Structure 1
């Protein structure tokens, strides 16, 4: 919503504090025609405006091609992509010049450019030219018949058999039949002629071995005969001596099949069908836990399971909370998902508890209240529940919105840790970000920080303090030393914008980007369908500059389609 050229937010909403008189109201939404009208505002009254935006119809950008050929049945290839056979119609073709090619065996390829106009059909009628005969054929007959015939090692059928489209020149004909010696005949094929190959086969002496055909369900299983690997199913194993043999079929994930009495007869084929049953799917998983240093107490969902290293088995598939505790170290906690049949690996690098330095208790900071709201991002380790002025508002390490502006009393609460309270100044329409706060496990001596956590941005408006005191922090961990670089916190509407600082990609919004050198930088946000937002931003060492960006939809390409 844009009132008198000034952006006010998104519908539906109420715009307060509008001066009496005539104003220009404009509504814009991507994919819809904008609405603009003059409205009259009377002092003390609310003027209601209701409007239904009209959706912009998508522009027609494609056409189609109707392809016919003589003869029909030619393969249709448009811009290198197959589109079926003639006669056919090709829909949804982008406007412009395309290359159409028709191919059919025995005919010269046909290829021409085709111009497609949006919303229209381009008609193509192609007459294919026949290629003069350039091949010959081979006819094979044998005595006895029903022999396997191969041409240049490729099977062409059982004798008698004929095959065409054979290229002129020398070729090899192989003939095989059970019980007969194999034959190979070299012959020559001429274009437009048929070469006849006639072969009398010689019978073999009676066989002394048999063979084995092995099939499995599923296929792809390893086959062993008398412990010797023979191949992967389905397969045929020749030259086995008559008698009983052991056949074993194995496949990962399945129970092996084994038959120790498979009979083999000379000159015969024995068939084995192995139905493999899947290995039962495990119903539980496990968690392998180690820590540095070892010897720490390990808790699963609050229940002590032992000391590290250890493995917790027979766990139902679900989410668990692992907590590692060791005297002199900060408590380590992490959520772990257990998957049936798998072992989740947990490695906890424990951090020694910082030695507390006693400091002077700061003077209580009174609370203040500003008109409006802002955001709050409390950075802590570990994550804790955040209370603002005694009301639960969310979790640390997440942005909390709609916090009343001014100085607020913030409290962090987490089981097993000491409760920490401190004042934070919330800037209106901005986000306050605290330094990282390390919560102290229960039982560790407390210290009071010399200064209250600072809030960002540094440009928050100055307010007059009231006399309502805030609670002084009872604990807080050591703060890191003052850095020599600054940071930028970027919040955008919509989310998912690419963020560049001095033309260097930093990530996507919303996001926190650190290690920025102090000084003035160019900040650019980019997202498809929106105009690029480019602005200058000044970064100070040790400060976090907060930027709120409302991206403007790019409607230029849509409007140009109707000009």
Structure 2
């Protein structure tokens, strides 16, 4: 009876154990997972700090962005990692966290920087607010609006107001309060919340209602690309302080020079033409607080196919210049776009001797030709003198008998002078008598 009860109890215990095991729930093994990444996007340059939230991060050995290791990462806890994004091309990529419990993944977006292609209004006077300026481009943040500013060296930035961005992220509408702001060219800068930005150099010009600068000439009138050209005389009027001097051409960035004021009528300085596009540019000068005045032309010549120029002067001026026997003008003047070569130069001016010289023109350079003309004195022909030779012959005395009746003069108180003819006749008679006496002897 006792044996039976022991066996029965053992069976009951065994059955209870089996039943308990049947209802035992074994928890699943923990896995690595990523639930979110903040922020979810960043610039292609990388350097963005992101917070990765998930599970089983303890002991994580790597964090990759599309197979590229994070610049750095720190496991803050089993559920959080701080990582710095590496540089990557634009687009959506996969972030992977590797830990002892496995790997977890999530998506992250690399965003290109914004671009500015044009503005609907590129200038305004510093007497009012400029409204409804449309900035066209791409990559403008439409969820959190970007900042827009006007920037100019030496001046405080001007922040745009009333900013809005369309859903496509390609148009910004804003206003600029430029009342009493310095006149001149300002850069337009759009900066997205992720720190990426776009710059439109000299994209907006603030104008003043008055300008007193005039431009008359510039020397030299050209320069070779990829070089620095020295401007020895930018002539005009109204230059004050240190004016801003630049070269302007449609659809190209302005080329700013470094200039100083010699006087109110003369500026000197340089233009750096490195990496600049050959072609004609307008010369602009702007005093502080006034409009820029443009008008003269400066030409950037190609460094490989540049022609030269010849500057002709003469003393005195006004001489006619012939280049290879072709009339080119009257001194002083500059002959532009001359093909590099040797040329025969001749200058002529009334009352002066002709002047001639052979010169060489080199690519991208100006050849100076200065002629000192010699005055041509007039030639006078003296009259031929006629010489008259008088020959005197001595003849023997001759006695001439006259049949003319000589009247007897009326007696006078004043004796008549002796006639020279009578004296000669008397002398001749005496000579004849002496000759006769000698013959008789």
TM-score surpassing 0.5? no
> Greater relative contact order (Cα 8 A, min sep 6): structure 1 or 2?
2
**Bigger fraction of residues in helix:** 2
TM-score, structure 1 length as denominator? 0.18
| Bigger Cα Rg | 2
